[in-house]
Amino acid sequence: MRRSLVFLACFLLACFALKAQEEPSKSYKNQISTNLLLPIFGSVDFSYERSLGKKFAVGVGAAVYGEDFEDLTIDDSYGGGTLRTKTEIMPFARIYFNGNQNKSHLLEIFASFSRVDEDGRLVRFLNDAGNGVYDIGVESYTRGGFGLGYGYRFLLLDDKLALEAQFGLRTNFDLNFVVLNAVLVRTGIKIGYRF
C-alpha cells in the first residue's frame, strides 16, 4: 500500500512538472511608455511599441516640447535665426540583442517629423493694402530628419513594467538644404507598461 501511494505521488508530480513545462511563458506584444525627465523641462513624450518576432519591434513616438526644453537643444541657431522645435512625431524600429521579452540592450533607428518656429528669419507679410512686405519675424514650418539611438531596457514586476535608459541623436532635413547638426531626441529615462 505504501509503495502504491509513493508511486501515485511520483506519477502526479511528474504530470504536474510536464504540464508546467508545456505552458508558454508570458509574451507581451505591446508597450506604452513616457519619458520621466521631460516634464522637468515642461515637455511631454509618449511612445507606443509593438513587438515583431523575437528580437524586433516597431513603434511611434510623439513629443510636445516646452520653453524650458529649448535650453537643452543643440539646433538653436543657424543662418542667423533661432530654431524652436515645438512638436515632433517619430516612427522607429528597434532590435533587442537579448530578445524583446528579456532585459536587453537595444539599437534604434527612427525618422523625425517636427514642427519648428524659426525666429529672426526674413518673412513675407501682407500689409493692410494687400501688398507683400518683407520683415524679420517668425516662420513656422515642418521638417524631417533621421536618427539613431542606443539604450538598455530593464523588465520589472513580472515583465509588465519596463524601465529604459536611452540616448538618441537625429539630424534635420530642411526643404532647401540638409542641416548637418545633431539634436538630442528620444533621450532620457523612460517608464512603460507592457501588455
User: What is the CATH number for 77?
Assistant: 2.40.160.20
178-184 and 188-194 beta bridge pairing: unpaired
State residue 21's pLDDT score: 45
Domain membership of residue 16 (yes or no) is no
Number of domains in the chain: 1
Q: What is the DSSP string of 108-136?
A: EEEEEEEEEEEEEEEEEEE-TTS-EEEEE
Q: Which domain range does residue 110 map to? A: 27-194
Neighbouring C-beta atoms of residue 43, cutoff 10 Å: 19
The predicted structure's pLDDT at residue 7: 58
88/100 Cα distance (integer angstroms) = 26
User: To the nearest 5 percent, what fractions of the chain are helix, strand and coil?
Assistant: 15, 60, 25
Q: What is the pLDDT of residue 13?
A: 52
The residue type found at 166 is: Q
- Global pTM value: 0.76
Sites in the chain below the pLDDT cut of 70: 1-25, 70-81, 174-181
Asked whether residue 190 is domain-assigned, the answer is yes
The pLDDT value given to residue 73: 59
Alpha-carbon gap, residue 131 to 114, rounded angstroms? 31
Instruction: Please report whether residue 125 resides in a domain.
Output: yes
pLDDT at residue 48, as a whole number: 98
Q: Look at residue 6 and tell me if it is in a domain.
A: no
Q: Which amino acid is residue 189, in one-letter code?
A: I
